[in-house]
Amino acid sequence: MTGPIVVSDCDAPHPPTVYVVEWNGDEPMYGCRCLICARCGHHTGNSNQGHYWSYCRVSKQEEWFHFCCPDDDCELYGVGGAA
């Protein structure tokens, strides 16, 4: 069994699960289908929601739907999780 396919320009926290395959001659070219968050510029690893979730990475519980981007940049709790 081979390892995950690496997409060089994707910075999602986990290898993307959906790929676009284009053929360049005999070689396949892979790309992710991540949404790029307009707020923080990171790939989301999800093809339809961005970093807009009800689950909060900072409080570790369900909250109102809000942007909760990588590096604890949370719309509810501020940068670094400060209230």
Mean pLDDT computed over 2-8: 65
- DSSP E strands: which ranges in 1-83? 19-24, 27-32, 52-55, 62-69, 73-74, 78-79
Yes or no: say if 42 and 10 are a contact pair by the CB < 8 Å rule: no
Yes or no: say if 31 and 47 are a contact pair by the CB < 8 Å rule: no
Instruction: Say what the pLDDT of residue 1 is.
Output: 46
pLDDT tens profile 10-41: 887 666 566 777 777 877 777 787 888 888 88
Mean pLDDT of the chain: 78
Give the dihedral sign, CA 37/42/44/45: positive
Between the alpha carbon of residue 12 and those of residues 16, 19, 26, 47, 59, the distances in Å are 7, 13, 28, 11, 21
